[in-house]
Structure 1
């Protein structure tokens, strides 16, 4: 099937991208997914309007079946399994099939080495808000990927959110900001809720306030042209309560702490790449 898109492994990230495709109008008949369990396959087919889902416990060669005849193949297993999966499906790929990895820390060179020579390859870095169509997905093209093939891959991801093209050497930095970033926002909400309890609020009320505040602020940031600094200044009145809090954050070195965390995430991604290599 010339336009078929195969999702090999359908955990939370690949399912989020798949869901975005279906919601954007892609014919479910053009989508195939592989999973381990038959129960999970049936669940996916029902949830996503009749896509084809093949369970490994029933069809041991499900990955090869899905890859054969597909225009785009998206590898969605854990990083440690990406190269083995690439080798497994190699004989089923057309020379023009675009192979996309959504696994962190697996380099283009590592992926290309596990595939037939000349295979078009793209490395991507999505994040979890893709589940809601509000993700950020970076794409980095391999040496055998044409501009037309890169555009085709971008179109696959658009239903899941904003797509940005970056050189591969920046992928670890992207991962540290947008890939891990949702956890930073959740961590902030968690800390805000704990602070509310410390100040005497009921725990359920405190988590509600923190959750809805962070979610609402995120919606404001999603407005076209929104600037975080401008939004912050708009609610930071001179000599007011918010200014007192922001000043304390600065005194405690919060911006530097966030930068240090991002640097640690970047370093860890590079370390995993070396381990996989």
Structure 2
């Protein structure tokens, strides 16, 4: 489906994620850069987007007035605190069959629809930071007003920056805790391994290289072999060996419960923020 033929995608918010999505779409030839328009309030980001061949306006009214073609989708890539004001401005300027796509963390479809015309098609997405390099994981949910072709459009947009899956919105607090916050957990583990290498005698550069390449190789191996993480771990863990010695310490310190409680805390916080 050529979702952008003679139409435009409006991205409200030209920060890292909005820019990454635009670049992902244009690099995958889903749309041309000329078929994407941005609104952005920060002068330095306006200059950056313009320099990278994206038509950019300082407000929604100006963007839509200058766009003589139909806007088939509006992507909300602003901070959650800014959503209400953005929707207030957007409400009087969009067609009722234009799909609104929100990546604002913690903002439920019910809240979005309360600020929009009745029966507006809405998609809510939980992407994560690796979308910025085309290796993200985006979880998608839709309200009942989204058509089959609009669903296909949304999936295609987010497949341009990684992988996608569709889940009920009831799962989104947990999704936020797993894939949304997940990159920070992995970074924390990597950070601790690098520091351990340094404390035990490696210089920082060597420790970083060993840890980062090991992490990258392990993920690649898991994605390209038939083994589960548990099974792959077992292949590295020889009885009475070095790996087992480390794992026994982790298990004694109850790592399993520490990780579980951390994810649970993130899920509970996501639920609080979405109220």
Whether the TM-score (by the shorter chain) exceeds 0.5 is yes
Q: Which stretch has the larger CA shift, 22-31 or 196-205?
A: 196-205
* 5+ long unaligned stretches in structure 2: none
SS in 2 for 1:234: helix
Q: Provide the rounded CA distance (Å) in 2 between the counterparts of 1:66 and 1:143.
A: 31
Q: Provide the rounded CA distance (Å) in 2 between the counterparts of 1:223 and 1:16.
A: 26
Q: What is the Cα-based RMSD across aligned positions, in Å?
A: 2.1
Q: Which stretch has the larger CA shift, 78-87 or 100-109?
A: 78-87
Q: Give the aligned partner of residue 96 of structure 2.
A: 95
Aligned CA distance change for structure 1 residues 66 and 123 (closer, same or farther; 3 Å): farther
Query: Structure 1 stretches (4+) deviating beyond 6 angstroms?
Result: none
Aligned CA distance change for structure 1 residues 137 and 225 (closer, same or farther; 3 Å): farther
Over residues 160-209 of structure 1, what are the superposed CA-to-partner deviations in whole Å (9 max), with x where a residue is unaligned? 00010000000111111100000011001100011112212222322232
SS in 1 for 2:264: helix
Q: Provide the rounded CA distance (Å) in 1 between the counterparts of 2:251 and 2:272.
A: 31
Shift, 1:43, TM fit:
1.8
- The 8 Å contact of residues 103 and 126 in structure 2, kept in 1 or not, is answered as yes
Aligned CA distance change for structure 1 residues 254 and 63 (closer, same or farther; 3 Å): farther
Aligned CA distance change for structure 1 residues 62 and 209 (closer, same or farther; 3 Å): farther
Q: Give the aligned partner of residue 134 of structure 1.
A: 135
- The 8 Å contact of residues 74 and 101 in structure 2, kept in 1 or not, is answered as yes
Shift, 1:125, TM fit:
0.2
What is the TM-score normalised by the length of structure 1?
Answer: 0.90
SS in 2 for 1:271: helix
Instruction: Determine whether 1:104 maps to 2:71.
Output: no
Q: Give the aligned partner of residue 22 of structure 1.
A: 26
Q: Provide the rounded CA distance (Å) in 1 between the counterparts of 2:261 and 2:188.
A: 15
* 5+ long unaligned stretches in structure 1: none
Provide the aligned length of Structure 1 versus Structure 2: 269
What is the TM-score normalised by the length of structure 2?
Answer: 0.90
Aligned CA distance change for structure 1 residues 2 and 121 (closer, same or farther; 3 Å): farther
Shift, 1:53, TM fit:
1.9
SS in 2 for 1:172: helix
Match of 1:43 among 34, 40, 48: 48
